[in-house]
């Protein structure tokens, strides 16, 4: 016969286990991280993505290629700025009045805006912006072909950019391979983009191409792949393509005009542009299994 005093002891382990942690979608929602599946020409990559304020993230350093034209342009601009700082612009009228004692030098300086004020505001705006971060290290996307390999890496303590987010320890302690099941909207098929564009306007898969643009932008910024950022920047041909795709997908009159704009976009130009983007992203993937 079982006494009443024995019943709490038997049920206690069950209660403790149920409160130990979350699983599945509840776990991902709690930690603010999501599993992502990206089909690339080299295979289907499983990885992680999170969105955080830029001020809370410090990406690992990447090695700079001295032959990188973007870095060369940046260095040239920096040299030009230094040259500009060395030039002294003299306001002859002001200098004449100053010599006669008719102006207060400090008063004029007080009336002039301080460039530092604008810099502080710009920096504050940048710090407040929500940006994408991936399971990456030194500008390379860490990717896996199986949920088991991904979870093993998460628990390993190896260095990566997501280790700095506040909920990482919770994820590392609780995640199981069965939890790695990306939502449909977090599955991307970059391997099909070029082939789809080559098929011509009538065969273009709008949701496929729009989703590809979203993840490519995220990867470009998170991994700091400058050619990808530039290729998808506002006003670029691929950005115009993306805007037209979104308009066409929206339906109604906007969709009608969007489809008309798509007809004017060269399929060959679009496919070549996307081929370059996908090639740059593929080159930045670090397969770990």
Residue whose pair of structure tokens reads 């006669």 in the numeric block: 100
pLDDT tens digit sequence for 202-227: 899 999 999 999 999 999 999 999 99
Question: Once rounded to an integer, what is the mean pLDDT over residues 69-88?
Answer: 52
User: Mapping DSSP to helix (H, G, I), strand (E, B) and coil, where does residue 255 land?
Assistant: helix
- Pick from 65-69, 134-138, 259-263, 279-283: least confident: 65-69
- Give the model's pLDDT for residue 34: 97
Between vectors from CA 246 to CA 241 and to CA 249, what angle results, nearest 5°? 125
Residue 275 confidence class, pLDDT cut points 50, 70, 90: very high
- Give the model's pLDDT for residue 88: 44
pLDDT tens digit sequence for 149-188: 999 999 999 999 999 999 999 999 999 999 999 999 999 9
Q: What's the Cα-to-Cα distance from 109 to each of 64, 94, 104, 131, rounded to whole Å? A: 40, 12, 9, 38
| Cα–Cα distance, 282 to 289 (Å, whole number) | 15
Residue 83 confidence class, pLDDT cut points 50, 70, 90: low
- Give the model's pLDDT for residue 77: 58
195 contacts 170 by C-beta, under 8 angstroms: no
| Cα–Cα distance, 33 to 36 (Å, whole number) | 10
- Give the model's pLDDT for residue 262: 81
pLDDT tens digit sequence for 101-146: 554 545 445 455 555 554 555 445 545 699 999 999 999 999 999 9
Q: What's the Cα-to-Cα distance from 115 to each of 38, 85, 122, rounded to whole Å? A: 43, 13, 11
23 contacts 176 by C-beta, under 8 angstroms: yes
More confident residue, 251 or 20: 251
Q: In the numeric block, which tokens belong to residue 31?
A: 């930690």
Q: Does the pLDDT value for residue 1 go beyond 70?
A: no
Give me the percent of the chain exceeding a pLDDT of 70: 67
Please list the residues that pair with 136 across neighbouring strands. Answer: 141
| Cα–Cα distance, 102 to 89 (Å, whole number) | 20
pLDDT tens digit sequence for 35-67: 999 999 999 999 999 999 999 998 878 765 544
- Give the model's pLDDT for residue 289: 85
Q: In the numeric block, which tokens belong to residue 179?
A: 């939890």
**Which residues in 78-202 belong to E strands, given as ranges?**
130-134, 136-137, 140-143, 187-189
Q: Which of 134, 110, 170 is nearest to 49 (CA)?
A: 134
| Cα–Cα distance, 143 to 287 (Å, whole number) | 5
More confident residue, 110 or 201: 201
58 contacts 136 by C-beta, under 8 angstroms: no
Q: Does the pLDDT value for residue 192 go beyond 90?
A: yes
| Helix and strand counts by DSSP (H, E) for the chain | 14, 7
| Cα–Cα distance, 133 to 164 (Å, whole number) | 11
Query: CB count, 10 Å around CB of 161?
Result: 23
Question: Once rounded to an integer, what is the mean pLDDT over residues 2-22?
Answer: 48
| Cα–Cα distance, 113 to 274 (Å, whole number) | 44
């Amino acid at each position: 016969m079982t006494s009443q005093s024995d019943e709490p002891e038997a049920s206690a382990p069950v209660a403790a286990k149920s409160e130990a942690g979350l699983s599945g979608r509840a776990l991902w929602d709690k930690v603010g991280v999501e599993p992502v599946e990206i089909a690339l020409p080299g295979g289907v990559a499983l990885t992680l993505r999170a969105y955080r304020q830029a001020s809370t993230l410090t990406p690992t350093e990447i090695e700079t290629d001295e032959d990188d034209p973007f870095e060369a342009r940046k260095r040239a601009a920096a040299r030009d700025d230094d040259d500009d700082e060395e030039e002294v612009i003299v306001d002859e009228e002001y200098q004449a009045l100053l010599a006669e004692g008719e102006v207060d030098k400090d008063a004029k300086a007080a009336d002039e805006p301080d460039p530092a004020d604008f810099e502080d505001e710009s920096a504050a705006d940048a710090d407040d912006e929500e940006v994408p971060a991936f399971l990456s290290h030194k500008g390379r996307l860490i990717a896996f072909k199986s949920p088991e390999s991904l979870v093993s890496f998460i628990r390993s303590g190896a260095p990566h950019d997501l280790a700095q987010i506040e909920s990482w320890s919770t994820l590392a302690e609780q995640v199981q391979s069965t939890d790695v099941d990306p939502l449909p909207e977090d599955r991307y098929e970059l391997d099909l983009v070029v082939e789809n564009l080559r098929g011509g306007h009538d065969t273009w898969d709008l949701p496929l191409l729009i989703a590809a643009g979203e993840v490519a932008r995220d990867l470009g910024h998170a991994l700091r792949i400058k050619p990808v950022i530039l290729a998808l920047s506002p006003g670029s041909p691929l950005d115009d393509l993306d805007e037209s795709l979104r308009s066409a997908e929206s339906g109604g009159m906007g969709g009608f005009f969007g489809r008309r704009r798509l007809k004017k976009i060269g399929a060959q130009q679009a496919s070549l542009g996307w081929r370059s983007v996908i090639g740059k992203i593929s080159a930045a993937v670090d397969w770990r299994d």
